[in-house]
Amino acid sequence: MIQNRRKFSIELENLNTKVFDMGIEVISSFKKVLIACKDSDIDLATEVKEHDIIINDIEISINVDGYLLIAKQCPVAGDLRRIITAIKISNDLERIADYSVNIAKYLIKTKYDNSVHIESISKLGEHIIKMLEGIMTAFKDEDIELALDINSMDEILDDEYDKEVKGLINISKTASNIELEEAMRALLVLKQIERAGDHITNIAENIVYLVNGKRVELN
């Protein structure tokens, strides 16, 4: 059989690569912000904040490429699913990157001792990095089984988040105003890490759709 649409196939491959590269950027952003937390490195936190514009640009570029391919190539079936999922996954990755920026902002703005909270943020943050690395591998290999394994890690994240929230509630019972303020701000950050897990779940759903066209609700 004659192979057609070589140019289109290359463009689809490039779109895929862009999504994978965006995932690497987001993982890097999350890793850096956790190092910044551990080392109280405000410069590194500032770098994470400023680097976000590049991640946003990649997302826009993936969206534009996707829209152009839809308009010009009229894709169907697997090709259409690939473009739609690239657009959707890039949106989820962009949101996850926003959460790493919010952790960086939290670090930059913190005025008081927050070492207890940093420990909690790091713990949940490390879990997110493992999930992110796994889900991007699942995306690259189009591995539904791995995507579902990563999805199940979100439950562990939710349990850990609940534990941390209960801990913060206990602290607040006897806390001074300053401690209470820090606890509240830490709670907001922890919530965002928990939300990052939900976005990874969305990516898992899109990987399933990409591979077999089935819509599943995992979250």
Partner 1 sequence: MNSIFEIDNLNLHYDDFQALKDINIRIEKNKVTALIGPSGCGKSTFLRCLNRMNDLIDSCKITGEIEFKEENIYTSNYDVISLRTKVGMVFQKPNPFPMSIYDNVAYGPRCQGIKDKNILDEIVATSLKSSALYEEVRDRIKESALSLSGGQQQRLCIARAIAMEPEVILMDEPTSALDPIATLRIEELMNELKKKYTIIIVTHSMHQAARISDNTAFFLMGELIEFDKTNKIFTTPKNQKTEDYITGRFG
Which residues of the shown chain bind partner 1 in the complex (CB under 8 A)? 1-5, 8, 74-81, 212-214
Between 80 and 116, name the residue whose CB sits nearer to partner 1. 80
Smallest gap from residue 23 Cβ to partner 1 (A):
25
Smallest gap from residue 147 Cβ to partner 1 (A):
18
> Who's near 176: CB < 8 A, 6+ residues apart?
none
Between 32 and 88, name the residue whose CB sits nearer to partner 1. 88
Between 126 and 213, name the residue whose CB sits nearer to partner 1. 213
Between 111 and 214, name the residue whose CB sits nearer to partner 1. 214
Phi, psi of 112 (to 5 degrees): -115, 175
Dihedral of CA 217/130/28/207: which sign? negative
Q: CA dihedral defined by 173, 179, 183, 185, rounded to 10 degrees? A: 140
Between 20 and 209, name the residue whose CB sits nearer to partner 1. 209
Between 53 and 76, name the residue whose CB sits nearer to partner 1. 76
> Who's near 124: CB < 8 A, 6+ residues apart?
157, 160, 161, 164, 190, 193, 194
The region that residue 133 occupies, defined by phi over 0 for left and psi between -120 and 50 for alpha, beta otherwise, is: alpha
Smallest gap from residue 18 Cβ to partner 1 (A):
20
Smallest gap from residue 81 Cβ to partner 1 (A):
7
Smallest gap from residue 144 Cβ to partner 1 (A):
14
Smallest gap from residue 161 Cβ to partner 1 (A):
35
Report the 10 Å Cβ neighbour count for 58. 20
Per DSSP, helices labelled H in the chain are 6-39, 42-73, 77-109, 115-141, 144-174, 177-212
Q: Scan for tokens 């713990």, then name that residue.
A: 123
Q: The tokens of 4 are what?
A: 């057609």
